[in-house]
Amino acid sequence: MSTKLRVIVAEDERPARLFLVAMLNAFEDVKIVGQAANGTEAVAIIEQEQPDLAFLDLQMPGLDGLSVVKALKKNQMPLIAFVTAYDEYAVQAFELNAVDYLLKPVERSRLRETINRAQERLDRADLRAEENHNLEEAVKDYETATQLPKIDRIPVRQKDEIIIVPVNQIASIIADGELLHITNQRNENYVINHRLKDLELRLEPDKFVRLGRGSLVNIDMITRIHQMPGGTYMVTLSNNQQIKVSRLQSRFLRERLLRL
């Protein structure tokens, strides 16, 4: 590609913004045409510079990354790559709708993939139209997920009675087909017929973390984290349950739980 990819970076934390800018400046096929410290600045820069690609921090004061997208007219919309600390709802919405995102701290190889993907879409009008549609759907899915009311208890039917299980006493929720196995801090087990994804949307994201495709655990119940071969982990809960962590979620654990 002879013409450089014109990009802007919108990130309210200055060290994180400078870190991303420095990595982008190392790519010979990228030209940074603007930097924003908040969403309002991002909208103004995009409208003025009309970049090819905008890196938007998902959480910014004033207008966040999603609000920036909604504030732009369709004919002003660049390609978007969201930059975020781990957010289960965001990851689900972005992956489901094939919208590009980068997890902090941003890795150079992953950033290169985003640049390559953007260049491919700029060269094909049909992919640009698809990208805009996917972006709209991701925003809708994310907002729907985060607006669902949270629950503080789960009703479990057992024969002729219904047992009320307080959410704050749950240690883990493990999926087994269409069944969910709920274990509390006293190692009492309950089974409900429900989808893990749907239940997860009703739980506080700062209290429950997905350790793998079929497991959720209460962060407050994690007492030990064991490093495994290949850069993954095994967590031990306060009820002595041990649950293996997937590779993707291992990165989340490192960022959220294993740093002061």
The model's confidence at residue 27, banded by pLDDT at 50, 70 and 90, is: very high
| The CATH number, out of the four listed (3.40.50.2300, 3.40.50.1000, 1.10.1040.10, 1.10.220.150), of the domain defined by the range 5-147 | 3.40.50.2300
What is the mean pLDDT of the segment spanning 85-109? 82
Q: What was the pLDDT predicted at 110?
A: 92
Give the highest mean pLDDT range of 100-104, 117-121, 185-189, 254-258.
Answer: 185-189
Q: What are phi and psi of 91, to 5 degrees?
A: -60, -45
pLDDT(1) > 50: no
Task: Give the pLDDT confidence score for residue 70 in this predicted structure.
Answer: 87
What is the mean predicted confidence (pLDDT) over 93-106?
84
pTM value? 0.58
Distance CA 31, CA 231 (A): 35
Model pLDDT, residue 215: 93
| Per-residue confidence (pLDDT) for residue 246, from 0 to 100 | 83
Question: Is residue 252 scored above 70 in pLDDT?
Answer: no
Residue with the bigger pLDDT between 248 and 149: it is 149
Q: Say whether domain 153-256 belongs to CATH 2.40.50.1020.
A: yes
Give pLDDT tens digits for 29-71: 999 999 999 888 999 999 999 999 999 998 887 778 888 998 8
Residue 197 is predicted with a pLDDT of 79
Query: To the nearest whole number, what is the mean pLDDT of the chain?
Result: 88
Given a cut of 60, whether residue 2 has pLDDT beyond it is: no
Domain map of the chain by residue range? Answer: 5-147, 153-256
